Copies of this chain bind each other. A is one copy, B any other.
């Protein structure tokens, strides 16, 4: 091995390490570390020498070494059911917002509404190294929490409330019930539901339950043929509403699991010559970008995804840093009234 002079070694395509900076600044690696991490107690001249050397060399600390040494990964994981879903994207984006400010990165994974996959992805993140974990909902694989606990990192659930665990979310049953009550106040008596797949999805389930209970309180019931479960998306909404019409007397109002589903249902309704809201009132979920621009503009339950994300991010950062937090943060959903809902045209049988 040749012993090349410093300048030539530095030109090598090997990225510089703390040792190189130390050598160039004429200090030890300990001092380099101290300066670069902003800890006090380094004389001004040495501090400047280190900063200059680091800059000259284009030094970037090796994250793995730092993580190994500090036992901090400076990363937070998030496992969401569907990474392409608008609401989850918004949450991820706003969590990341907060994390980024605190110097953390977000690593997101996709669970596809399957508990086993969720466990696998979470394990993957745990192995990769994260200091905290965000999940969606309150239903998980039985092993998941033990595994997280094993790693001793904080976890927060989002989008629904939980009796046992830290969470940021809202009462899915109550907000859906509010929508149902609003429809009943308008005079509707036959109300249908088109939800996304509910297996392993407590949010969807809670919403339907909430609606059924609200109906029951007023002596009505959610007819099985008006309780439709389909895959998400506009196409799903069309199919769902078609399916609903196939099963006996049509409802005068429907509540949909997402605005996409509602959009699909409205398209199908129009295709069948039904007027919205004259013949059919429609309520969606999420208040997507396009909801106010549909024809008619869509009444919807606005879920404050960005706020949920911010709160979840803050919660995790606080716990990672050992600060106290409240276990439950409730971020209420809101019923946004637009023109897709109205009293039923004539008294429905």
Whole-angstrom distance between the alpha carbons of A25 and B51 in the complex?
48
| A139 to B: closest C-beta gap in Å | 22
Whole-angstrom distance between the alpha carbons of A123 and B60 in the complex?
8
Give the residues from 51 to 69 in chain A that come closer than 8 angstroms, CB to CB, to chain B.
58, 60-65, 67-68
Whole-angstrom distance between the alpha carbons of A84 and B92 in the complex?
9
Q: How many residues of A are in contact with the other chain, CB < 8 A? A: 51
User: What are the residues of chain B within 8 A of A92 when measuring CB–CB?
Assistant: 83
Q: Which stretch of A27-35, A39-47, A125-133, A214-222 is in the interface?
A: A125-133
| A171 to B: closest C-beta gap in Å | 26
User: What are the residues of chain B within 8 A of A146 when measuring CB–CB?
Assistant: 58
Whole-angstrom distance between the alpha carbons of A151 and B13 in the complex?
8
Closest to A68 in B: B64
Q: Which stretch of A190-198, A260-268, A313-321, A337-345 is in the interface?
A: A260-268
Asked if B293 and A234 sit within 8 Å, CB to CB, the answer is yes
Asked if A260 meets B233 with Cβ closer than 8 Å, knowing A60-B151, A68-B68, A83-B89, the reply is: no
Whole-angstrom distance between the alpha carbons of A278 and B234 in the complex?
26
Closest to A63 in B: B129
Asked if A128 and B84 sit within 8 Å, CB to CB, the answer is no
Give the residues from 121 to 158 in chain A that come closer than 8 angstroms, CB to CB, to chain B.
123-129, 146-147, 149-152
Asked if A63 meets B93 with Cβ closer than 8 Å, knowing A58-B150, A267-B293, the reply is: no
User: What are the residues of chain B within 8 A of A128 when measuring CB–CB?
Assistant: 63, 74-75, 105
Whole-angstrom distance between the alpha carbons of A62 and B150 in the complex?
13
User: What are the residues of chain B within 8 A of A123 when measuring CB–CB?
Assistant: 60
Q: Which of B65, B149, B151, B263 contacts A293 (CB 8 A)?
A: B263
Q: Which of B63, B108, B149, B152 contacts A127 (CB 8 A)?
A: B63
* Contact mask for chain A residues 261-290; partner B; CB cutoff 8 A; 1 contact, 0 none: 001100100000000000000000000011
| A235 to B: closest C-beta gap in Å | 9
User: What are the residues of chain B within 8 A of A108 when measuring CB–CB?
Assistant: 106, 108
Asked if A62 meets B293 with Cβ closer than 8 Å, knowing A105-B107, A108-B108, the reply is: no
Whole-angstrom distance between the alpha carbons of A132 and B30 in the complex?
30
| A191 to B: closest C-beta gap in Å | 24
A160 on interface, CB distance cutoff 8 Å: no
A241 on interface, CB distance cutoff 8 Å: no
Whole-angstrom distance between the alpha carbons of A83 and B95 in the complex?
12
Asked if A127 meets B61 with Cβ closer than 8 Å, knowing A263-B290, A295-B295, the reply is: yes
Asked if B290 and A234 sit within 8 Å, CB to CB, the answer is yes
Asked if A15 meets B150 with Cβ closer than 8 Å, knowing A60-B127, A75-B128, the reply is: yes
In addition to A62-B68, A84-B93, 19 A-B residue pairs with Cβ atoms within 8 Å of each other are: A15-B150, A15-B152, A58-B146, A60-B151, A61-B127, A63-B67, A64-B64, A64-B67, A64-B129, A67-B67, A68-B68, A83-B92, A93-B110, A105-B128, A234-B289, A234-B293, A260-B289, A260-B290, A264-B293
Q: List 8 A-B contacts (CB under 8 A).
A: A13-B152, A63-B73, A64-B64, A64-B65, A64-B73, A83-B93, A89-B89, A105-B109
